[in-house]
Structure 1
Amino acid sequence: MGFVLGVLPWVLYWVLIGNVMFRLVVCLVLAVAVGTQVVSRLRRQPWRIFDLGSIVVFAILTLTAFVFTDAILERWLQPLGNLGLFLVALVGLLVGRPFVWEYATEFVDATTARSDRLHAVTTTMTWLWVAVFAAMTVVTMIPPLVDEAATIRDAAGLLSVLCYWVLPCVLLGLAASASGLVPPWFEIRSVPVEQRETEETPAAATQSSAPSDIASDTLVLDVPQDSRHDEPFAVVLHGAPAGSAVELTATGNDLHGRLWRSAAMFAAPASGPVDIALLDPLSGDWERADGDAPLWAMRFAADGVTPDLFVPPTDPWLVTVTARVERVGEVRRTVRRHPPAEGVRSSTVEIDGRPGLLALPPGTAPADGWPAVACFGGSEGGFESQVGPAMLLASRGFAALAASWVDEGAPIVAVPLERFGTTVRFLADHSEVDSDRVAGMAVSRGAEGLLSAVCAHEGPRCRGLVLISPSSVTWQAIGSEGEIPDAPSWTVAGRDVPWLPVRSGALMSQLVRNAWWASRDAAAHRPTLIRLRPAYEAGLRGPATGAADARIPAEQADGPLLLVTGTEDAVWPSGPMAQEVLGRRLRPSDEHLSCRGAGHLVRLGVLPTDAQWTGGIALGGTRTAQAVAQRSATTRITRFLSAVTANSGDDRRRAVGTRRR
Structure 2
Amino acid sequence: MGFVIGFAPWIVYWILVGNTGFVAAVAIAFGIALAGQVLQRVRHQPWRTLEVGTVAVFGLLLIAALTLDDAVLERWLQPLSNFGLFAIATVGVLVGRPFVREYAEAGVDAQTAASGGFRYVTTAMTWMWVAAFGLMTVFSLIPPIVDGDATMRDAGDTLSVACYWVLPFTLMGVAGLVSAVFPGWFEKRSQLLESQSSTESEVTPQPAPAADVSTGSLALDVPADSRHDEAFSLVVRGAKPGASVTVRTTGTDLFGAQWRSEASFTVPAEGIVDVPAQVPGSGDWAVADADAPLWAMRFVSEGRVPELFVPPPDAWLVTVEATSPDGIARRTVTRRVSAPGVSVRPLEVGGRPALLALPAGEEPTGGWPAVACFGGSEGGVDSQRSTIGMLASNGYAALAYSWVDESSTEATLVNIPLERFASAVGALGAQQSVNANRLTAMAISRGAEGVLAAACAGNLPVAGLILVSPSSVSWQAIGPDGEIAGTPSWTWNGRPVLWAPLPGGELMAQLIRNAWRTHHDIAAHRPSLLRLCAAYRAGLAAAPPEAALRSEEAPPPLLCLTGADDQLWPSTDMATALLDRRSASHDAHRTFDGAGHLIRLGMFPADAQWTGGIAFGGGGVGQGRAQREAVRSVLGFLARITAGTRA
Q: Distance in 2 between matches of 1:168 and 1:304?
A: 49
Are the equivalent residues in 1 in contact too, given 2:23–2:62 (CA < 8 A)? yes
Aligned to 1:56: 56
Aligned to 1:657: none
Q: Quote how far apart the aligned CAs of 1:24 are.
A: 2.9
Moved more, 92-101 or 601-610: 92-101
Which deviations, in whole Å up to 9, do the C-alpha atoms of 1:610-650 show, x marking residues without a partner?
1111111111113111001111111111111222222457x
Aligned to 1:415: 416
Q: Quote how far apart the aligned CAs of 1:217 are.
A: 6.2
The alignment partner of 2:317 has SS state of strand
Q: Distance in 1 between matches of 2:253 and 2:316?
A: 8
Which deviations, in whole Å up to 9, do the C-alpha atoms of 1:215-263 show, x marking residues without a partner?
3463321111111111111111221111122111111111112221111
Aligned to 1:586: 583
Q: Distance in 2 between matches of 1:301 and 1:499?
A: 42
Q: Distance in 1 between matches of 2:461 and 2:76?
A: 75
Q: Distance in 2 between matches of 1:542 and 1:345?
A: 47
Q: Quote how far apart the aligned CAs of 1:2 are.
A: 2.9
1:311-322 pair list within 5 angstroms: 311-322=310-321
Q: Distance in 2 between matches of 1:543 and 1:62?
A: 48
1:405-444 pair list within 5 angstroms: 405-408=403-406, 411-444=412-445
Q: Distance in 2 between matches of 1:543 and 1:425?
A: 32
1:448-467 pair list within 5 angstroms: 448-456=449-457, 458-467=458-467
Aligned to 1:655: none
Q: Distance in 1 between matches of 2:583 and 2:233?
A: 41
Q: Quote how far apart the aligned CAs of 1:182 are.
A: 2.3
Moved more, 132-141 or 500-509: 500-509
Are the equivalent residues in 2 in contact too, given 1:347–1:357 (CA < 8 A)? yes
The alignment partner of 2:364 has SS state of coil
The alignment partner of 2:207 has SS state of coil
Q: Distance in 2 between matches of 1:66 and 1:580?
A: 66
TM-score norm. by structure 2 comes to 0.96
One-letter amino acid matched to 1:586: S
Q: Distance in 1 between matches of 2:39 and 2:589?
A: 61
Moved more, 484-493 or 372-381: 484-493
Q: Distance in 1 between matches of 2:489 and 2:45?
A: 31
Aligned to 1:625: 622
Q: Distance in 2 between matches of 1:66 and 1:621?
A: 69
Q: Distance in 1 between matches of 2:562 and 2:645?
A: 30
Which deviations, in whole Å up to 9, do the C-alpha atoms of 1:454-505 show, x marking residues without a partner?
111x342221111111111111222222222332212222222222222222
Aligned to 2:498: 498
Aligned to 2:361: 363
Given the alignment, which residue of 624, 639, 642 partners 1:642?
639
Which deviations, in whole Å up to 9, do the C-alpha atoms of 1:54-73 show, x marking residues without a partner?
22222222233334333332
Q: Distance in 2 between matches of 1:259 and 1:101?
A: 47
Aligned to 1:253: 252
Q: Distance in 1 between matches of 2:34 and 2:579?
A: 58
The alignment partner of 1:645 has SS state of helix
Q: Quote how far apart the aligned CAs of 1:447 are.
A: 0.9
Say yes or no: does 1:549 pair with 2:542: no
Aligned to 1:29: 29
The alignment partner of 2:467 has SS state of strand
Which deviations, in whole Å up to 9, do the C-alpha atoms of 1:300-334 show, x marking residues without a partner?
122222111111111211111111121x2111111
Q: Distance in 2 between matches of 1:429 and 1:435?
A: 7
Are the equivalent residues in 1 in contact too, given 2:292–2:621 (CA < 8 A)? no
Q: Distance in 1 between matches of 2:91 and 2:543?
A: 20
Are the equivalent residues in 2 in contact too, given 1:2–1:45 (CA < 8 A)? no
Aligned to 1:599: 596
1:148-297 pair list within 5 angstroms: 148-199=148-199, 201-216=200-215, 218-297=217-296
Moved more, 212-221 or 519-528: 212-221
Given the alignment, which residue of 608, 631, 636 partners 1:611?
608
Say yes or no: does 1:351 pair with 2:349: yes
Aligned to 2:301: 302
Are the equivalent residues in 1 in contact too, given 2:463–2:645 (CA < 8 A)? no
Say yes or no: does 1:6 pair with 2:6: yes
Q: Distance in 2 between matches of 1:135 and 1:42?
A: 36
One-letter amino acid matched to 1:298: M
Given the alignment, which residue of 383, 386, 391 partners 1:385?
383
Are the equivalent residues in 1 in contact too, given 2:23–2:65 (CA < 8 A)? yes
1:464-475 pair list within 5 angstroms: 464-475=464-475
Aligned to 2:114: 114
Aligned to 1:376: 374
Q: Distance in 2 between matches of 1:67 and 1:425?
A: 83
Are the equivalent residues in 1 in contact too, given 2:405–2:413 (CA < 8 A)? no
One-letter amino acid matched to 1:421: A
Are the equivalent residues in 2 in contact too, given 1:602–1:633 (CA < 8 A)? yes
Q: Quote how far apart the aligned CAs of 1:162 are.
A: 2.2
Q: Distance in 1 between matches of 2:529 and 2:416?
A: 28
One-letter amino acid matched to 1:599: G
One-letter amino acid matched to 2:368: W
Q: Distance in 2 between matches of 1:157 and 1:104?
A: 40
The alignment partner of 2:623 has SS state of helix
Are the equivalent residues in 2 in contact too, given 1:474–1:497 (CA < 8 A)? yes
Moved more, 611-620 or 56-65: 56-65
Q: Distance in 1 between matches of 2:393 and 2:138?
A: 74
Which deviations, in whole Å up to 9, do the C-alpha atoms of 1:520-576 show, x marking residues without a partner?
2222222221111122223224466xxx73222222112211111111111111122
Say yes or no: does 1:574 pair with 2:575: no
Q: Distance in 1 between matches of 2:562 and 2:56?
A: 54
Q: Distance in 2 between matches of 1:250 and 1:622?
A: 18
Q: Quote how far apart the aligned CAs of 1:272 are.
A: 4.6
Moved more, 442-451 or 427-436: 427-436
Are the equivalent residues in 2 in contact too, given 1:296–1:608 (CA < 8 A)? yes
Say yes or no: does 1:19 pair with 2:16: no
TM-score norm. by structure 1 comes to 0.94
One-letter amino acid matched to 1:342: P
Q: Distance in 2 between matches of 1:490 and 1:428?
A: 24
Are the equivalent residues in 2 in contact too, given 1:18–1:74 (CA < 8 A)? no
Could you tell me which runs of 5 or more consecutive residues in structure 1 were left unpaired when the two chains were aligned: 653-661
Are the equivalent residues in 1 in contact too, given 2:307–2:611 (CA < 8 A)? yes
Are the equivalent residues in 1 in contact too, given 2:450–2:490 (CA < 8 A)? yes
One-letter amino acid matched to 2:455: V
One-letter amino acid matched to 2:278: L
Q: Quote how far apart the aligned CAs of 1:158 are.
A: 2.8
Q: Quote how far apart the aligned CAs of 1:207 are.
A: 0.7
What is the number of equivalent residue pairs in this alignment? 644
Moved more, 377-386 or 41-50: 41-50
Say yes or no: does 1:563 pair with 2:560: yes
The alignment partner of 1:281 has SS state of coil
Q: Distance in 2 between matches of 1:148 and 1:247?
A: 81
Q: Is the alpha carbon distance of 1:398 and 1:637 closer, same or farther for their aligned partners in structure 2, counting shifts above 3 Å?
A: same
One-letter amino acid matched to 1:428: G
Q: Distance in 2 between matches of 1:156 and 1:597?
A: 68
Q: Is the alpha carbon distance of 1:126 and 1:543 closer, same or farther for their aligned partners in structure 2, counting shifts above 3 Å?
A: farther
Q: Quote how far apart the aligned CAs of 1:383 are.
A: 1.0
